[in-house]
Amino acid sequence: MKRVYLGEFEELVLLVVAMLESDAYGVKITHEITDQTNRSVRLNQVHAALHRLEDKGMINSKMGDPTPQRGGRRKRIFTITAFGQNTLAEMKTVRAHLWNLLPSSMKIVGG
Amino acid sequence: MKPFIPKPSPPRWATKLLQWYCAPQLIEEVQGDLEEEFDFKIKQVGLTKARLDYVRNVIGFIKPFAIKRRKSTINNNAMFKSYFKIGWRNLSRNKMYSLINIGGLAVGMAVVMLIGLWVYDEVSYNHSHTNYRNIAQVYRRFTEPLEQKTISTEWLPQPMAKVLTEKYGHLFKHIVLVRSYSDYTLRVGESSFIKVGQFIENGMTDMFSLNMLRGSKESLSDQQAIIISESTAKAIFGEKDPINQTVKLDSKIDAVVRGVYADIAKNSVFGNIQFFANFENLRANNEGIKANENNWGQTSHWIYVQTKDNVSVERASEAMRDLYLKDSPDGFKEGAKKYKTNVWLHPMKDWYLYSEFKDGYPIAGRVTYVWLFAIVGLFVLLLACINFMNLSTARSEKRAKEVGIRKAIGSVKLQLVNQFLSESFLVVFLALVIALVLVSMSLSPFNELADKSIQLPFDNIYFWLLCFAFLTITSFLSGLYPAFYLSSFQPVKVLKGSSPLGRFAALPRRILVITQVSVSVVLMIGTIIVYQQIQYAQNRPIGYDRKGLIRIPIKDPDFNKSKLVIQNELLASGLASNVGFSSSPVTAIWDNWGGFTWKGKNPEAESSFTVTWTNEDYGKTIQWKVLQGRDFSREFGTDADVVIINKSAAKYMGLENPIGEFITQESNNNQHRLIIGVVDDVIATSPYESVQPGFYWLEKDASNLWQMLIKLNHSISTKEALSKIESIQNKLVPSAPFVYSFVDEEYGNKFKAEQRLGRLASLFAILAIFISCLGLFGLSSFIAEQKTKEIGIRKVLGASVATLWRMLSKDFVVLVLLSCFIAVPISYYFLTNWLKTYQYHTEISWWVFALSGMGALAITIVTVSFQAIKAAMANPINSLRSE
């Protein structure tokens, strides 16, 4: 099956969107990535990745409710689509399969 | 509620920047996220760092995804879709109208495209030579002291090229001596070919940027070299390798093929030349040229120069102006002073467009026709656009209700303007497509007509850009008036039913009709006059009988030796009734000589005479008319130094009885020649110019006369006679190919330029008239439709068909008459000026104008009547019943 190409960072963002369930929006995703992976990411990178993911049909978005922290502005809430989920699962399977094929001396590294 | 302490805020300018570049559909979430992040950062790292971070974020967002606007709102797309849909429905509902509109516009555009291509081809003449901006031809300008007539000539002496190299070499990259091109017989092995060639000095390959397929830029450097065009190489050598093959030119000059160049574009000064040979080779083989290598008196060469890259042609021309005064031998310096001789450069870019001289300066030439046709083209396009505007405004009444309703349900003016513009865009686009098809279909007959090899430049991006520009401009031009006119209707008025068209609503339309018909009438008159002029010149008495007269140019020395035998054979076999010899063809003048005196000559008169050498049979062969005295004859053994003069010469010399007088040639040891006869003027040069005074000198030794003229026996068919002559020649001179030409064809060639002009002019005139007719037809049908009810009522009340027809046509007739009054003076002015350029020209007679006017009127009445009578014949019940 032909699969849409997914970059490493996009995969990360997609995973975080899936993880945050119905509370995934720009700032939150950025903070979550920073917290969970110790990577310093910038807001605009995340936004760009979200755009690409939405173009690829991996996530959906809708405007949320206005909140006072944001000067009354609404957030755009992202949710993962079934296609996105399938893609993640498939990637994981492929990786696991490849890990299994590694020579035993290497397997220790990945655990 | 306002907080007491103002909330710390991010830098204002950064927010402004964000708001400016960010797409409107993203601004809310992006700005929200940035602000939330800002608040978060304040708590984490403090205000200053938070503000810095905010700015970094704002700049970080300058990315395509954030800037890109949505293409257009869905709403607008739908509107344009609707515009085109409505436009399409309108077109398909009124099939007749659409046909007239689109067809007329398409024909107009096709004409403009053809003219545009033609003009482009003319203007880019010689541009295929990369260095054309730096190339020029050297000219000599002088003023005749007696008549104060200034003349420029390109004929120059050979040593001038040397002086240019030695004294003015710092200005030029190349200086090449050129012999004017002519036909040569190329013999390769056993076979012979006639090809047009030119002897030229070595620098030319680089100078004219020849694309050498074989050999190099230096291929012409060795004395015996010739280089041939690709197609010539194919014609002569076929698949064989042409390089280093030997060729004999005119059975005299040996040459070796050293290079092959890609065929030169047809619209170049070298377009017809098939090979170039080294000038040195000609000089080595031609006594006359060799003897005059350093003679400033013999002027029979051209000089082409290419200036250095940093020297403009104008500057070089200025610098070498006084060449004759400074650098010619002493005797010639005085002559140069007396004749005010100066030297100037004619730039290559003007060679073709400005080839006609007046008072020694290039003033006109093809450029006149380029302008003429460009203007005609614009007018034709104008006519087509006028049709479109006319028909659209005429239909405005019908669409007034639509406009009213659109406005009432909230359409703003801009939307209506857009609607009408998109409709006109649709029409123009369809017309453009049809025009492209028409042009590609008509290009090959057009090329034949105009003697061009033009192709549609489909692979040229500029062509498509031009098409697009054309599309936009035309649709704006032709759509603008209806768009603004129709969209300015007041909805209340049109919906109530009162006409939105005021008393003067028809005025612009009338003016448009007048313009249209005027242009057509001018073109019609122009065409008639051009044809009259051609006819007039063709009917001019030419002074000899060209029927059944053929000319054989003798080039082969073997042929020359046996030509008297051939003459005898031809006469004995009865193929020819006469055979004569002369130094130049009947249809050309090759020699002009000055320095003659005679009894009673004004000592200051310094005119030159055309000179032709003939033998005793020449006059009988061409059947010239002896007016006074007698023809040359063998019966008079004393006929040695005798001359026959033409009528113009007799008039010029002012002798009452020229027979028995003497002409003395001072420059030739005071040689006397006895005038024995006067013949009627023979037209040898342009049939539009008066005949120059001329002498015919008797040359008893026919071996010096290289033109053979044969008057065919009229009782034998031409085809049979030619094949027999060929076999006689092949038998006696197998080395020379059989080359001949019909004198009447050669004479006819003198009319080609004007005939071509006449044919092009008539083509465009017919198309212009056709387009105007379409317009009138469409307009009259709409007027008839508008007046359907009126006609019905009039019919019921007893009006006859004739009365109704008159009522409907009267308007147009008045307009056409008005147009004629405008067109006549305009065309009179331009055509008298055009005719003045010919010395021998017809007069414009009043009936041409009358005829054209009547013609326009007749065409209009026929066009309009078709609709008028149809409307007048209709059953009034039908028109009155429908409401």
**B638 falls in which pLDDT band (50, 70, 90)?**
low
**B801 falls in which pLDDT band (50, 70, 90)?**
confident
So what's the pLDDT on residue B76? 66
Calpha distance B155→B157 (Å, rounded): 7
Residue B184 has pLDDT above 70, yes or no: yes
**B30 falls in which pLDDT band (50, 70, 90)?**
confident
Q: DSSP strand E in B244-350: where?
A: 246-249, 253-261, 275-278, 302-307, 342-347
Give A78 or B1, the one with higher predicted confidence. A78
**B809 falls in which pLDDT band (50, 70, 90)?**
confident
Check: CB of residue B131 under 8 Å from CB of residue B306.
yes
Query: Which of A32, A33, A43 has the most B C-beta neighbours within 10 Å, making it the best mutation to test the interface with B?
Result: A43
Contacting residues for B376 by C-beta, under 8 A, at least 6 apart: B115, B523, B761, B764, B768
Residue B499 has pLDDT above 70, yes or no: no
Query: Which residues does chain A have within 8 Å of residue B3's beta carbon, measured at their own beta carbons?
Result: none
Q: Tens of pLDDT along B274-315? A: 999 999 998 888 887 888 888 887 777 899 999 999 999 999
**How does DSSP assign B115-151, residue by residue?**
HHHHHHHHHTTTTTSTTGGGEEEEEEEEE-TTT--EE
Average pLDDT (B463-473) is 86
Calpha distance B185→B196 (Å, rounded): 9
ipTM value for the complex: 0.87
So what's the pLDDT on residue B137? 93
Average pLDDT (B728-753) is 85
**B470 falls in which pLDDT band (50, 70, 90)?**
confident
Q: Tens of pLDDT along B324-372? A: 888 888 878 888 888 888 999 999 989 888 887 888 888 877 888 888 8
Residue B670 has pLDDT above 90, yes or no: no
Residue B504 has pLDDT above 60, yes or no: no
Check: CB of residue B772 under 8 Å from CB of residue B512.
no
User: What is the signed CA dihedral for B745, B746, B747, B752, rounded to 10 degrees?
Assistant: 80
Residue B4 has pLDDT above 60, yes or no: no
B34 lies within 8 A of chain A by CB: yes
So what's the pLDDT on residue B6? 65
Q: How many Å lie between the alpha carbon of B5 and the closest alpha carbon of chain A? A: 16
Residue B46 has pLDDT above 60, yes or no: yes
- Residue (of B703, B711, B698) closest to B559 by Cα position: B703
Q: How many helices (H) and strands (E) does chain A have?
A: 5, 2
**A70 falls in which pLDDT band (50, 70, 90)?**
confident
So what's the pLDDT on residue B748? 87
B101 CB-side CA count, 13 A? 30
Residue A52 has pLDDT above 70, yes or no: yes
**A111 falls in which pLDDT band (50, 70, 90)?**
very low
Helix or strand run (H / E) with residue B796: helix B788-796
Across chain B, mean pLDDT equals: 84
Calpha distance B622→B653 (Å, rounded): 25
B38 lies within 8 A of chain A by CB: no
Q: Rounded to 5 degrees, what angle do the CA atoms B834, B838, B841 make?
A: 90
Query: Which residues does chain B have within 8 Å of residue A30's beta carbon, measured at their own beta carbons?
Result: 37
Query: Which of B27, B29, B70 has the most A C-beta neighbours within 10 Å, making it the best mutation to test the interface with A?
Result: B29
Mean pLDDT: which of A88-92, B374-378, B634-638 is highest?
A88-92
The most distant pair of C-alpha atoms in chain B lies apart, rounded to whole Å, by: 138
- Residue (of B265, B248, B266) closest to B257 by Cα position: B248
If 0-12 CB within 10 Å is exposed, 13-18 middle and 19+ buried, where does residue B871 land?
Answer: buried
Q: How many Å lie between the alpha carbon of A96 and the closest alpha carbon of chain B? A: 34
Residue B557 has pLDDT above 50, yes or no: yes
How many CB atoms are closer than 10 A to CB B43?
Answer: 8
Query: B residues 52-71 near A, CB within 8 Å?
Result: 56-57, 60-61, 63, 65-66
Average pLDDT (B181-198) is 86
So what's the pLDDT on residue B416? 81
* Cα B576 to Cα A48, B567, B723, distances in angstroms: 96, 9, 13
Q: How many Å lie between the alpha carbon of B79 and the closest alpha carbon of chain A? A: 27
Contacting residues for B166 by C-beta, under 8 A, at least 6 apart: none
Q: How many Å lie between the alpha carbon of B28 and the closest alpha carbon of chain A? A: 6
Calpha distance B118→B120 (Å, rounded): 5
Which has the minimum average pLDDT: B254-268, B276-290, B374-388, B423-437?
B374-388
Query: Which residues does chain B have within 8 Å of residue A70's beta carbon, measured at their own beta carbons?
Result: 32-33, 35-36
Percent of chain B residues topping a pLDDT of 70: 95
Helix or strand run (H / E) with residue B187: strand B182-188
The shares of helix, strand and coil residues in chain B, as percent rounded to the nearest 5, are 55, 15, 30
Across chain A, mean pLDDT equals: 84
Cβ–Cβ gap A70/B35 under 8 Å: yes
Query: A residues 24-83 near B, CB within 8 Å?
Result: 25-27, 30-31, 42-45, 47-48, 51-52, 63, 69-71, 73-76
Domains of chain A: 8-104 (1.10.10.10)
Give, as one character, the DSSP assignment of residue B4: S
Calpha distance B249→B554 (Å, rounded): 13
B31 lies within 8 A of chain A by CB: yes
So what's the pLDDT on residue B172? 92
